[in-house]
Chain A
Amino acid sequence: ETVLTQSPGTLSLSPGERATLSCRASQSVDSNYLAWYQQKPGQAPRPLIYGASNRATGIPDRFGGSGSGTDFTLTISRLEPEDSAVYYCQQYGAPVFTFGPGTKVDVK
């Protein structure tokens, strides 16, 4: 089973700055099967990126995904206070799914 590791654990940035979040897999992941989610307190996760680099419906272009193999990155440019949340990566390796431990982003 593929284990996902995310770094950093917490990221504190100011509005307008750029956030770079890392997701590393214990073995190679098919890029088609790597996704990112945003979760705010008390809410269900919201899909941001699928297929490593495709934005989900309604996601602004400030959010971008990249990577391949075992190293993937979520980039949030021009941070806004509403981007404060925990961000999770997720991979699919048939037939199971795994999530990373999350990166908390604090924008203030």
Chain B
Amino acid sequence: QVTLKESGPALVKPTQTLTLTCTFSGFSLNIDKMRMSWVRQPPGKALEWLARIDWDDDKFYSTSLKTRLTISKDTSKSQVVLTMTNMDPVDTATYYCARIRYTGGYYFDYWGQGILVTVSS
């Protein structure tokens, strides 16, 4: 059974750095072609893809946010970590981690429940 769960602070102050952890089970990120991503959704708005990390430690980022994002993995802990620097109130959103399915098409087949992060002083 595949599960993913996000953890991190619910509230951060402007200019601070956000660190989110996705802890997953039911699969390994060591497996050939396995990939995972972070996606966010501001309240009442659409989904926005943020970053991706692959089994071989390749990393890819949203063009608009790449200067602020870092994605990493700890396969021994079955975790993927996202850091976002210089947080701003417009970054208030629910942040999801998701597994990427690569067979039959690139899409997100499993999602965490999401974590709402509010940026406010």
B-binding residues in A (CB < 8 A)? 1, 32-35, 37, 39, 44-47, 50-52, 54, 56-57, 88, 90, 92, 95-102
Contacts and interface: CB of A to CB of B under 8 A. Distances in A.
A99 B48 contact: yes
A44 B114 contact: yes
> What's the dominant secondary structure at chain B's contact region?
strand
Contacts of A35: 105-108
Contact of B60 (A1, A34, A88, A95): A95
Nearest to B107: A35
A51 B105 CA distance: 5
Q: Which 10 A-B pairs have the closest CB atoms?
A: A92-B106, A35-B107, A51-B105, A44-B111, A97-B49, A95-B60, A99-B47, A50-B105, A50-B107, A32-B105
A52 B104 CA distance: 10
B112 interface: yes
A44 B113 contact: yes
